[in-house]
């Protein structure tokens, strides 16, 4: 934070203080506001260089005015306003005039050039008077204003605070920034023009300090990865090409340098990456080895004579594929097989320059544009090949493995396999960020569909007004359970973010499994939710102006980003099997007997509950949790038995796993759904507001029962429930949808998506 006092020679800038106060009132000074202020101030002839330098320091988004300075501004404004009539039609300009008089510069500020500059600065800030900020003038008005905004009961604003939690102020600042005209959403026919705009947006975000927030303070950040994830999710309400470009630059590229490199790399590159002075990309995926990172074919051979690594693509299929920022990037983190002294040491990461300062490809580098895609055409994806490209030995990101001048390899982790998985574990952040961007898209799609359904009328009794779409039980059934699911996703992904932000070496494997499961399940949900919302809006949902075209196209790839969902779910199940095996190996005879007794006891309870249909039972959190846990536990045990039987019969472990692939996917999904429900229940119990708790309780019940209904065939096959109970669950879901019908408008408003980001005619415009 900046600390500034005004010297006697700088009293000339006092008239700008009221406008600067208003400009900073929402904690955001947007790029357009900064640009206009700088331009107009520079045109005022009687301001000297010292005056202008001070003003520039006050409008630096990376160093906003301190609380002490804000209080000084308020004191100066109040002093100037002591005899000011509150009913003045132009209070802001009057205050500026009074402050000019107080500084002894009335004549200068009364000139045409000064008045014009003040007016244009005021217009850029987007205000006509101080009407909305009069509380700074008197304590009485400030207290009255505080009382005005204190309202009891369930309100969208209260739910929004609960959802956003401790990062609410940050989220609001990002939304206000995105209201700046330079971020205006529009339709882009040409990918190259679109990419240029997205790149400019990223630069503006970097100028505000948002790109570097996850990095340590010495590199321009806040050392807070949770801040980064909340910014990432909020940007998802705007433009998803921007989200992915932002993530590639600051998350993947910057994150790889920070987490895989050491201090020499951080000192040299981290600040420039965070400010976007150095644009880069993350070159892992290859055409022939998409998800199979262990067997990538790009090589990095150490040349002892020159002290360099030679990065080489041995054939076309070993080229890096679908690399974001490939056309704008000047450097890449390249994953390649490290070879030195004739021995391979597995996949490592290297910093490889791609272009010179003029943007020309360097010798040995070939980059080809991937061209138009199904979506995300604002992201410059490309293919990259390396032909004997030499980089200094220091360009090896050597946190987990290093090579000395003589070509000797060393690593703090002896096991090659453990070293590989440890390296990948540091990069799990992408699997936290992608589903959060997908969550924003799902929230936006549901908000559009529900607002449309609350305005659009269709059919009705003869000579009576037509019926609102959301008053039809079918429409309630289409959308309201999905609303409950999005709330569940929200609490589940918040939990994942907390775990990731506070991870340790001891729990990183568990977090990797959690991230793989929730990323897969959540992005599958996003795809399904957006499709249902589009259909629920009929032909209107097919128009580009109503956002579903971009939302669906841009999020479709999320099921593939950061690992194909089907592959990730198998990794989840293999992790669960490993833990299951470890538990049994650690059990002594007494523990084993207790475990078996518990299993028998649970089996008796589930038989007794299979036919229970009263609503109190069906809406009981413990019943919901037991039901999802039972499915997960049963799938885990049966999978272990199947694999053991195959292997015991002589089948190779790899072939046995292939035979059980569908079973592996089912277990991964069951695990993910159980985790999300647990987090929803915990969030409900932590809520202390009775109004919010009441509606969250209904949403949580609906979320759980809708999941159980989705898997009812499995539960019926395994005799966990009767047909009668299945019908009772269906009816309870219908009743919950009806009960939640009056709440849905506030529930989507609680997502806090302003109209300029919602950007859908059927949601923010008048219904025709």
Question: Catalytic residue positions?
Answer: 562
Let me know if 285 is exposed, middle or buried by CB neighbors in 10 A (0-12, 13-18, 19+).
middle
Pairing of strands 331-340, 343-353: antiparallel
CA distance 274 to 343: 36
Let me know if 594 is exposed, middle or buried by CB neighbors in 10 A (0-12, 13-18, 19+).
exposed
Q: Where in 324-465 does DSSP place strands (E)? A: 331-340, 343-353, 365-369, 382-386, 389-392, 402-403, 409-410
Q: Where in 213-263 does DSSP place strands (E)? A: none
Q: Where in 276-330 does DSSP place strands (E)? A: 280-283, 299-303, 308-312, 320-323
Structure tokens, 472: 């039809």
Q: Are the CB atoms for 483 and 448 separated by under 8 Å? A: no
Structure tokens, 51: 């005056």
Let me know if 689 is exposed, middle or buried by CB neighbors in 10 A (0-12, 13-18, 19+).
middle
Report residue 299: phi and psi, to 5°: -115, 155
Beta bridge partners of 282: 333
Q: Are the CB atoms for 369 and 380 separated by under 8 Å? A: yes
DSSP state of 283: E
Structure tokens, 461: 């009794």
CA distance 498 to 500: 5
Cα radius of gyration (the chain): 30
Q: Are the CB atoms for 715 and 631 separated by under 8 Å? A: yes
Helix axes 67-80, 91-102, angle to 10 degrees: 90
CA distance 254 to 77: 43
């Amino acid at each position: 934070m900046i600390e500034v006092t005004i010297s006697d020679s700088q009293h000339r800038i006092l008239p700008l203080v009221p406008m600067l106060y208003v400009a900073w009132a929402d904690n955001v000074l947007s790029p357009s506001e900064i640009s206009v202020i700088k331009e107009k101030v520079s045109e005022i002839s009687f301001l000297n260089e010292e005056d202008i330098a001070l003003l520039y320091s006050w409008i630096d988004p990376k160093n906003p005015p301190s609380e002490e300075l804000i209080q000084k501004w308020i004191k100066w404004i109040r002093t100037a306003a002591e005899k000011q009539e509150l009913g003045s039609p132009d209070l802001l300009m009057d205050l500026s005039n009074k402050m000019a008089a107080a500084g002894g510069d009335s004549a200068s500020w009364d000139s045409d050039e000064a008045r014009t500059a003040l007016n244009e600065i005021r217009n850029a800030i987007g205000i006509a008077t101080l009407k909305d900020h009069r509380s700074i003038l008197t304590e009485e008005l400030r207290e009255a204003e505080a009382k005005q905004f204190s309202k009891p009961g369930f309100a969208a604003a209260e739910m929004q605070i609960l959802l956003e939690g401790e990062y609410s102020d940050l989220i609001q600042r990002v939304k206000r920034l995105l209201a700046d005209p330079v971020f205006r959403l529009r339709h882009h026919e040409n990918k190259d023009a679109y990419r240029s705009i997205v790149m400019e947006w990223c630069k503006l975000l970097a100028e505000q300090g948002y790109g570097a927030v996850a990095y340590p303070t010495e590199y321009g950040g806040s050392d807070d990865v949770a801040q980064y994830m909340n910014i990432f999710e909020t940007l998802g309400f705007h433009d998803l090409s921007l989200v992915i470009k932002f993530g590639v630059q600051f998350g993947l590229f910057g994150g790889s340098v920070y987490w895989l490199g050491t201090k020499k790399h951080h000192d040299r590159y981290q600040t420039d990456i965070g400010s976007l002075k150095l644009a880069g990309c993350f070159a892992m995926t290859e055409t022939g080895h998409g998800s199979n990172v262990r067997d990538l074919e790009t090589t990095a051979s150490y040349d002892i004579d020159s002290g360099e690594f030679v990065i080489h693509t041995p054939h076309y299929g070993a080229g890096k594929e679908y690399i974001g920022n490939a056309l704008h990037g000047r450097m890449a983190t390249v994953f390649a097989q490290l070879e030195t002294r004739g021995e391979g040491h597995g996949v490592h990461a290297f910093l490889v320059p791609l272009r010179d300062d003029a943007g020309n490809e360097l010798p040995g580098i070939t980059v080809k544009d991937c061209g138009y895609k199904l979506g995300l055409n604002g992201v410059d994806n490309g293919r990259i090949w390396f032909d004997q490209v030499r980089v200094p030995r220091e360009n090896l990101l050597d946190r987990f493995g290093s090579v000395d001048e003589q070509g000797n390899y060393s690593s703090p982790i002896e096991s090659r396999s453990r070293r590989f998985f440890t390296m990948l574990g540091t990069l799990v952040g992408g699997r936290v960020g992608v589903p959060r961007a997908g969550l924003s898209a799902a929230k936006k799609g549901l908000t559009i569909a529900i607002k449309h359904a609350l305005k659009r009328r269709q059919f009705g009794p003869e000579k009576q007004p037509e019926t609102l779409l959301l008053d039809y039980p079918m429409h309630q059934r289409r959308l309201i359970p999905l609303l409950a699911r999005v709330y569940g996703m929200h609490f589940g992904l918040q939990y994942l973010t907390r775990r990731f932000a506070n991870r340790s070496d001891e729990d990183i494997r568990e977090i990797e499994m959690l991230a793989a499961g929730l990323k897969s399940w959540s992005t599958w949900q996003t795809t399904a939710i957006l499709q249902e919302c589009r259909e629920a809006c009929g032909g209107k949902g097919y128009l580009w102006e109503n956002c579903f075209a971009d939302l669906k196209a841009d999020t479709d790839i999320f099921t593939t980003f950061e690992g194909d969902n089907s592959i990730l779910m198998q990794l989840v199940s293999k992790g669960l099997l490993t833990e299951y095996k470890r538990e049994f190996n650690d059990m002594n005879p007494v523990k084993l007997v207790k475990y078996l007794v518990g299993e028998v006891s649970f089996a008796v309870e589930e038989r007794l509950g299979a036919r229970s249909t009263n609503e109190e039972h069906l809406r009981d959190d413990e019943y919901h949790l037991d039901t999802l846990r039972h499915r997960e536990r049963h799938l885990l045990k049966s999978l272990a038995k199947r694999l053991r039987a195959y292997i015991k019969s002589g089948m190779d472990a790899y072939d046995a796993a292939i035979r059980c692939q569908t079973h592996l996917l089912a277990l991964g999904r069951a695990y993910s759904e159980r985790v999300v429900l647990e987090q929803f229940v915990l969030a409900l119990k932590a809520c202390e507001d009775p109004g919010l708790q009441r509606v969250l309780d209904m949403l949580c019940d609906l979320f759980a029962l809708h999941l159980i209904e989705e898997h009812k065939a499995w539960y019926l096959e395994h005799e966990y429930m009767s047909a009668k109970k299945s019908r009772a669950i269906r009816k309870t879901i219908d009743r919950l949808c009806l009960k939640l019908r009056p709440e849905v408008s506030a529930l989507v408003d609680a997502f806090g998506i302003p109209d300029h980001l919602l950007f859908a005619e059927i949601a923010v415009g008048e219904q025709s």
